Amino acid sequence: MKKNIPEADNKNSRLLGSLEKLGSAAIAFSGGVDSTFLLAAATSVLGDKVLALTVKTPYIPDQELEEARNFCSGQGIRHRIIHTEILEEIMSNPFNRCYLCKKHVFSLMKAEAAREGIHHLLDGTNADDPNDYRPGMMALKELHIESPLLENGLTKKDIRYLSRKQGLASADKPAYACLLTRLPHNYEVKTEELKRIEKAELYLVSLGFAISRVRNHGTVARIEIDRGKIPDFMEGRTVKKIVRYFRSLGYEFVSLDLEGYRTGSLSK
């Protein structure tokens, strides 16, 4: 009797086949669920013909960089970190910020890959992403960046399932977006505020709020967490600790958004 193979496994087989045909590839590697899975898949069929590229900017937390570095080091994967400052064009956090940023950082990675003689730069866009608000995807299209997870129909659910099956620590990692998404549009980007947001979110994670965002409105912190965790947040001692810590960072007012965590809440 023929064993039923989950559709995710079939998609994964197609993915591996398409990656193998490339011969070599550079992977835009953030350390998130999608890019980690893609990097592991590419390495499994291309070996040392894979180069992981990570761009470090002031709006990418140091912890994300460290996790990306540790993964590559642990797996013996070639890894290059490209440092860049905040583009002048996005210092006011405009509505097309994501497009401008993606165009810049992927141009840097594409040039780095070309210097290595690698003609395929891949990113971790998955089959769910076109259904979300993703203005940066236009930049990827213009630069001819390849998205094999999307092309092979792999959804976020598929990727998490396959990541668990392969023992990747990133399988259950919460979704992440750069720190600029914590700021309102048309708001001056200040490095010190980005650092403050990073520290505030790390503190929430340390208290057990793994799914959380600190939306920065000047001296006001608007905290979004998983709605199911709101009762834990409102526990007296927890609230006091959070308020005390946030005020030590420079926030005058600390608020909890009763709608809970949701993507793109500052993009509306």
Q: Domain boundary residue among 137, 154, 172?
A: 172
Greatest Cα pair distance, the chain, in angstroms, is: 66
Give the number of residues written for the chain: 268
Which positions of the chain have pLDDT values less than 70?
1-5, 133, 264-268
pLDDT at position 265, please?
57
Q: Please report, to the nearest 10 degrees, the dihedral formed by the alpha carbons of residues 240, 174, 130, 223 taken in order.
A: 0
Number of domains in the chain: 2
Q: Is 2 helix (H, G, I), strand (E, B) or coil?
A: coil
Helix axis angle for 156-165 and 33-46, nearest 10°, is 60
The secondary structure of 170-219, three-state, reads: HHHCCCCCCHHHHCCCCCCCCHHHHHHHHHHHHHHHHCCCCCEEEEEECC
The pTM of this model reads 0.92
pLDDT at position 134, please?
74
Query: Do 242 and 208 form a contact (C-beta atoms < 8 A)?
Result: no
Residue 252 lies in a domain: yes
Here the CATH number for the domain that contains residue 121 is: 3.40.50.620
26-47 burial, b at 16+ Cβ within 10 Å, e below that, comes to: bbbbbbbbbbbbbbbbbbebbe
DSSP at 4: P
- 39: which 2 tokens? 């990097």
Sign of the Cα pseudo-torsion (80, 149, 34, 147, in order): positive
Same domain, 33 and 160: yes
Q: Domain boundary residue among 126, 157, 172?
A: 172
pLDDT at position 2, please?
43
DSSP at 18: H
Domain extent, residue 191, equals: 179-256
pLDDT at position 176, please?
85
- 175: which 2 tokens? 């979704």
- 185: which 2 tokens? 């549009």
Nearest to 196 by CA among 179, 176, 175: 179
